[in-house]
């Protein structure tokens, strides 16, 4: 699963490019997606291409990506992106879901899944700061999940997942600052299952935002409550940096000038400061963290 954020798309296009109308965020995310489509075959694994939080003011970004998916679908029968998240949790529930439904109708025509948000994920990520939000909004109500399920389920071929807040936050904080209540997801499933009464005890597919820093116990409990995807950003960011940090520490004396190191004052250091060396160390450290996440999520060797 590869996720592009609006800020990530802009970064890929280049931070100096004008982004007044989200053109850099659109072009960068499309370029990244095309890169993934091109190289994914070499890894011999299926890849899900997703985009992260899109609030109301950012919808033109998704409009640009959807247009690219529609074009790609016409040529290949597949969308460019597998799924998009719309985060309209700042808006009143009815407005949130009616906009989501409008988009799901378009997504469904090209096999794109919708991830929507209920309640507010706390913390701060990608320039959106929810650190001061009223704590009652961090916990979704079962009635809200049921309302959304009913509305979105009316869309033919509509596929959707729900990022319901249960005290989860973006970022990693000192212990005691996050009060995770995955029982909220359990209660919501039970509520919907009773309403539907069709034998399915987990009708809603949930997404766990803010997985960084979570205990394996909370992760496993969330999976039991019907979580099918966990977002992990802050921990992977740290792992990437930690790999670069360790590389610099190991080769410090070879990284202080272009020429001259402990072996000889005349020796060039190019092979140490080539950016690919430190960036590769970051990738390796991040890959190790992702393997740990896959283990935490019971997601090892499940594709065979």
Q: Is the Cβ of residue 146 or residue 208 nearer to Zn ion in the bound state?
A: 208
Strand arrangement of the beta sheet that strand 169-170 belongs to = 128-130, 122-125, 169-170
Q: Is the Cβ of residue 168 or residue 189 nearer to Zn ion in the bound state?
A: 168
Q: How far is the CB of 288 from Zn ion (least distance, A)?
A: 23
Q: Which stretch binds Zn ion (CB under 5 A): 1-9, 179-187, 190-198, 205-213?
A: 205-213
Strand 169-170 and strand 160-164: pairing?
unpaired
- Strand-pairing partners, residue 115, are 85, 161
Are 173 and 210 in contact by the 8 Å Cβ rule? The answer is no
- Measured in degrees and rounded to the nearest 5, phi and psi for residue 267 equal -75, 130
Q: Is 6 in the site for Zn ion (CB under 5 A)?
A: no
Are 184 and 139 in contact by the 8 Å Cβ rule? The answer is yes
Q: How far is the CB of 52 from Zn ion (least distance, A)?
A: 6
Interacting residues with Zn ion between 134 and 153 (CB under 5 A): none
Interacting residues with Zn ion between 16 and 55 (CB under 5 A): none
Q: Is the Cβ of residue 84 or residue 209 nearer to Zn ion in the bound state?
A: 209
Task: Count helices and strands (H / E) in the chain.
Answer: 10, 12
Helix (H, G, I), strand (E, B) or coil at 11: helix
Q: Is the Cβ of residue 229 or residue 289 nearer to Zn ion in the bound state?
A: 229
Q: How far is the CB of 200 from Zn ion (least distance, A)?
A: 26
Q: How far is the CB of 138 from Zn ion (least distance, A)?
A: 13
Q: Is the Cβ of residue 108 or residue 117 nearer to Zn ion in the bound state?
A: 117
Name the residue whose CB lies closest to Zn ion.
209
Q: Is the Cβ of residue 72 or residue 209 nearer to Zn ion in the bound state?
A: 209
Question: Residue 253: which H helix or E strand, with range?
Answer: none
Q: How far is the CB of 137 from Zn ion (least distance, A)?
A: 15
Please give the C-alpha separations between residue 204 and each of 60, 140, 164, 179, 200, in angstroms, as whole numbers: 28, 14, 10, 23, 10
Q: Is 209 in the site for Zn ion (CB under 5 A)?
A: yes
Distance of alpha carbon 147 from alpha carbon 156, whole angstroms = 17
Q: How far is the CB of 233 from Zn ion (least distance, A)?
A: 7
Q: How far is the CB of 123 from Zn ion (least distance, A)?
A: 9
- How many residues lie near Zn ion (CB under 5 A)? 2
Choose, from 20, 22, 52, 201, the residue flagged as catalytic.
Answer: 52
DSSP at 21 = T
Please give the C-alpha separations between residue 265 and each of 163, 251, 252, 257, 260, in angstroms, as whole numbers: 57, 16, 15, 10, 4
What does the per-residue mask of binding to Zn ion show for 102-131, with x meaning CB under 5 A? -------------------x----------
Q: Is the Cβ of residue 121 or residue 188 nearer to Zn ion in the bound state?
A: 121
Task: Let me know if 52 is a catalytic residue.
Answer: yes
Distance of alpha carbon 93 from alpha carbon 99, whole angstroms = 10
- Give the residue carrying structure tokens 């990506």: 65
Distance of alpha carbon 152 from alpha carbon 159, whole angstroms = 8
Which residues are the active-site residues? 52
Chain contacts with Zn ion (rule: CB under 5 A):
121, 209
């Amino acid at each position: 699963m590869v996720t592009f954020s609006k800020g990530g798309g802009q970064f890929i296009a280049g931070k100096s490019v004008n982004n007044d109308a989200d053109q850099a965020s659109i072009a960068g995310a499309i370029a990244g997606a095309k890169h993934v489509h091109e190289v994914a075959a070499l890894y011999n694994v299926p890849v899900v291409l997703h985009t992260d939080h899109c609030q109301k003011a950012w919808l033109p970004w998704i409009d640009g990506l959807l247009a690219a998916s529609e074009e790609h679908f016409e040529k290949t029968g597949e969308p460019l992106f597998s799924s998009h998240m719309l985060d309209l949790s700042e808006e009143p529930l009815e407005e949130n879901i009616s906009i989501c439904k409008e988009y799901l109708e378009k997504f469904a025509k090209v096999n794109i899944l919708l991830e929507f948000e209920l309640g507010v994920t706390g913390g701060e990520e990608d320039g959106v700061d929810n650190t001061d939000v009223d704590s009652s909004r961090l916990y979704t109500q079962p009635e809200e999940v049921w309302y959304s399920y009913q509305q979105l389920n009316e869309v033919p071929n509509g596929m959707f997942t729900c990022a319901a807040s249960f005290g989860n936050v973006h970022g990693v904080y000192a212990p005691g600052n996050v009060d995770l209540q995955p029982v909220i997801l359990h209660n919501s499933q039970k509520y919907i299952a009773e309403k539907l009464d069709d034998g399915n005890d987990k009708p809603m597919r949930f997404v766990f935002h803010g997985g960084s820093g979570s205990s394996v116990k909370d992760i496993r409990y969330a999976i039991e409550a019907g979580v099918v995807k966990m977002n992990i950003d802050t921990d992977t960011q740290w792992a990437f940096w930690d790999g670069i940090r360790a590389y610099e520490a190991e080769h410090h004396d070879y990284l202080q000038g272009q020429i001259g190191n402990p072996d000889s004052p005349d020796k060039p250091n190019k092979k140490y400061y080539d950016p690919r060396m430190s960036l590769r160390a970051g990738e390796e450290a991040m890959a190790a963290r992702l393997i740990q996440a896959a283990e935490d999520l019971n997601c090892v060797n499940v594709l065979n």
